[in-house]
Amino acid sequence: MFVAKNYMPRGIKGELDLVGYDGKTLAFVEVRMRTVKEDAAALPELSVTREKQRVVVRTAQRFLAERHVDECPLRFDVLAIDNRPGQPPVVRLHKDAFSPDLGRRD
C-alpha cells in the first residue's frame, strides 16, 4: 500500500520517489529509469551512489518525523527501469538495496 510519492521536505535537499508498506515493513523506494540505446548498457540502479543513499535516508528520517509514523521495520529499495525504444520496459526491484546506517556514517 503506497502512502506517498514524490515527497519533498522543506528545508533540506532530498526527495522520496515512493513510500509504501510491504506488509508491516515501510519501504522507501528510489526509482531510477534509463532509456537504453543500442550502444549503451548502463544499469540505472548503479546511479544510486553512497551520497544519494545518504540523502534518501536523511529524507526518510524527516518523513518519519513529520508523519509521526509508529515504529516499524524499514527498508530501502531501488526500482530500476530500462526503457528500450520499441520494446516493453524491463523492470527490476531490488528490495533492501541499502542500509539506513549509511545515512549516519560521516
* pTM: predicted TM-score of the whole model, two decimal places: 0.87
Query: If we measure between CA atoms, which residue out of 32, 46, 36 comes closest to residue 85?
Result: 36
Quote the number of domains for the chain: 1
d(CA 9, CA 14): 7
CATH, residue 51:
3.40.1350.10
Q: State pLDDT tens for residues 64-105.
A: 999 999 899 999 999 999 998 888 999 999 999 998 875 443
| Cell digits of residue 23 | 506488509
Range of 56's domain? 2-104
d(CA 99, CA 21): 17
| Cell digits of residue 95 | 528490495
Q: State pLDDT tens for residues 14-59.
A: 999 999 999 999 999 999 999 877 656 678 998 999 999 999 999 9
